A and B are shown apart, each in its own frame.
Chain A
Amino acid sequence: MTGTTRSNRLTVLGLTVPGLIGMAVSFLLPLLWLLRMSFNRGDSSGLIEETFTFDSYAQFLGDSYYWDMVWETTILGLGVTVLTLVVSYPIALFLVRTESRFKGVLIALAVAPLLTSSVVRTYGWLVLLGNQGVVNQALLATGLIDGPLALINNKLGVYVALVEIMMPYMILALLAGFGRFNPELEHAAQSLGANRWRTFWRIVWPLSMPGVLTGALLVFVLTISAFVTPRLVGGGKVFYLATEIYDQATETLNWPFAAAMAFILLGLFAIVIVLYQRALRRIEAQ
């Protein structure tokens, strides 16, 4: 069924053309415009000069400040991805396995946060972690601390809020990735002497890799392009590529520079995608 016959090619064409058209209109065209924009010259008062120059790229690449920012962004993406995976996996696994009557409700609960605007959820975190927040009040009341801890307006807050905001996406991806999870394989491993821990690492985990990879990619991408949460929780002290692009695009109004940064970000993420696809192909081969 996977020969490269003519009918196969027609099938492939039929299957992909609608997608290609949709993507062309809603992505490729804008992207090309963007590329053109990145070669214009913008000045700091927001005026744009139509020309063809690599100034913006040069400005970005020649400034170590931006390189640090790229680094910070990458670390944020990886950190949030790993943490999200760690806290989401047990929930997903539980949901796949449970025979509980409340399974449907539990799944709904895991996804429900998504229906609450991430802006609102971030506010929830502000209320929870702020100086007058629930956590600080509780800690003060128990006498464990004598002044409020700085839980937000710093990186810590950004990580906590982002991890929570990304969890439902990760859970959804993992749930789908487990597919029709076959408990028989777990049984087989156990009958061969694998304890729960090793059954997990040797059987469940590798078999859930498609879901893990998908979830990881999803979260990584959403994280590095997230700007609302770092904005709201970062206290103006943390800078990532996304917030920087946002600033350039909406505050400084230097669109050419914003566009150039976007393309640099794109190049960076192309690397991630390539790695992802390579990993995926390894799994697919199985």
Chain B
Amino acid sequence: MTSKLRGWPTRILVTLLYLFLLAPILIVVVISFDTQSTMAFPPQGFSFQWYARLAENAEFIHGFQVSAVVAAGVALLALLIGVPAAVALTWHEFPFRGVLSGFFLSPLMVPAIVLGLALLLVLAPMRITGTYGGLIVAHLAITVPYVIRTTSMSLMTMNRSCVEAARTLGASPWRTFRRVTLPLIAPGVLAGGVIAFLISFDEAVISLFVVGPQATTLPVEIFHYVEERTDPQIAALSVVLIAISIVFVVVIERVAGLKKVLR
């Protein structure tokens, strides 16, 4: 079977789709080595000058730190509150379940721009705009729904008799969850965590409102940067981010076996 699946039509189709998916990134990679000072094609030369400039750009470096910390915090927090909520919503029957589940999804319905505005007016009096805590709070609502969705999807599709088996073998509900349920729903939890991280990491609109001089996230720095300049420094930055992500993935792969987790 497998040899047939790897047939040429499938391969070609998948390759083309990958090409489409990665096209803008490929362009960005090429441009990042250009000598021109605008993002344009074809490149006029080869240099590392934009990488050199990037290394000196304190705002980007600080922005990266802020974004990484915030995104990690958001992902963690979103998982911590999202996964239990997903368990309750998928596995338990209780009054107002539908209402609650709708409520947990509703942040997705509010355009980020509006939520950003609204958050600013709530967070500013609390004096937490422009702090890590404030940014995490601001990103929480828009990431939790993803965690809940992907997690409950996995909960729905998993074989529940494994949970029963664990319980009869003496595992408390918590240990059952940790030792059996969690590994079995790992694809959903992982997807939720990754999406939460990435949404937070890429979130520019809400952040625009709640960043402050002390903590400004990378997308906001980028956003400000491209409003005025379009040199390939941004391209170089993207390439660095991709490289970091690939290293990250390779490490996960080595340590935890991504294949196993996602299969």
Do chains A and B make direct contact within the complex (CB under 8 angstroms)?
yes
**A residues at B contact (CB < 8 Å):** 1-4, 8-9, 11-12, 14-16, 18-19, 21-23, 25-27, 29-31, 33-34, 37, 87-88, 90-91, 94-99, 103-105, 107-128, 132-134, 137, 164, 167-169, 172-173, 175-180, 183, 187, 210-211, 214, 217-218, 221, 224-225, 227-228, 241-242, 245-246, 249-250, 255, 258-259, 262, 265-266, 269-270, 272-274, 276-277, 283-284
Q: Please, which residues of chain A bring their CB within 8 A of the CB of B245?
A: 108, 111-112, 115
Please tell me which one of the listed residues B91, B117, B242 contacts residue A116 in the complex, with CB atoms under 8 A apart.
B242
Q: Please, which residues of chain B bring their CB within 8 A of the CB of A119?
A: 204, 219, 222-223, 226
Q: Please, which residues of chain A bring their CB within 8 A of the CB of B109?
A: 221, 265-266, 269-270, 272-273
Question: A9 with B119: in contact, given A22-B140, A109-B22, A119-B204 (CB under 8 Å)?
Answer: no
On whether the beta carbons of B88 and A104 are closer than 8 Å, the reply is: no
Q: Please, which residues of chain A bring their CB within 8 A of the CB of B149?
A: 173, 214, 217-218
Q: Please, which residues of chain A bring their CB within 8 A of the CB of B77?
A: 22
Question: A127 with B198: in contact, given A30-B115, A259-B114 (CB under 8 Å)?
Answer: no
Question: A30 with B122: in contact, given A19-B82, A124-B25, A250-B113 (CB under 8 Å)?
Answer: yes
Closest to B225 in A: A119
**B residues at A contact (CB < 8 Å):** 1-2, 5-6, 10, 13-14, 17-18, 20-25, 27-28, 31, 39-42, 77, 80-82, 84-85, 87-94, 98, 100-115, 117-119, 121-122, 137-141, 144, 146, 148-150, 153-154, 156-159, 164, 173, 184, 187-188, 190-192, 194-195, 198, 201-202, 204-205, 218-219, 222-223, 226, 230, 234-235, 237-238, 241-242, 244-246, 249-250, 253, 258-259, 262-263
User: CA separation between A167 and B198, bound complex, in Å?
Assistant: 13
Question: A15 with B84: in contact, given A109-B18, A118-B202 (CB under 8 Å)?
Answer: yes
On whether the beta carbons of B234 and A123 are closer than 8 Å, the reply is: yes
On whether the beta carbons of B92 and A12 are closer than 8 Å, the reply is: yes
Question: A30 with B41: in contact, given A214-B150, A265-B111 (CB under 8 Å)?
Answer: no
Q: Please, which residues of chain B bring their CB within 8 A of the CB of A210?
A: 153, 156-157
B80, chain A: closest CB distance, angstroms: 7
Q: Please, which residues of chain A bring their CB within 8 A of the CB of B113?
A: 225, 227, 242, 245-246, 249-250, 258
User: CA separation between A23 and B112, bound complex, in Å?
Assistant: 15
User: CA separation between A120 and B122, bound complex, in Å?
Assistant: 30
User: CA separation between A241 and B89, bound complex, in Å?
Assistant: 31
Jot down 19 A-B pairs with beta carbons below 8 A, ordered by A. A8-B92, A19-B84, A22-B140, A27-B106, A31-B110, A94-B14, A104-B253, A105-B253, A108-B253, A108-B258, A114-B202, A123-B230, A125-B23, A172-B191, A175-B191, A176-B153, A176-B192, A177-B153, A225-B111
On whether the beta carbons of B191 and A99 are closer than 8 Å, the reply is: no
On whether the beta carbons of A110 and B21 are closer than 8 Å, the reply is: yes
On whether the beta carbons of A255 and B194 are closer than 8 Å, the reply is: no
Please tell me which one of the listed residues B20, B91, B235 contacts residue A164 in the complex, with CB atoms under 8 A apart.
B20
On whether the beta carbons of B21 and A164 are closer than 8 Å, the reply is: yes
A107, chain B: closest CB distance, angstroms: 6
On whether the beta carbons of B219 and A255 are closer than 8 Å, the reply is: no
Q: Please, which residues of chain A bring their CB within 8 A of the CB of B187?
A: 175-176, 178-179
Q: Please, which residues of chain A bring their CB within 8 A of the CB of B146?
A: 218
Q: Please, which residues of chain A bring their CB within 8 A of the CB of B94?
A: 4, 8-9, 12
On whether the beta carbons of A113 and B21 are closer than 8 Å, the reply is: yes
User: CA separation between A111 and B253, bound complex, in Å?
Assistant: 14
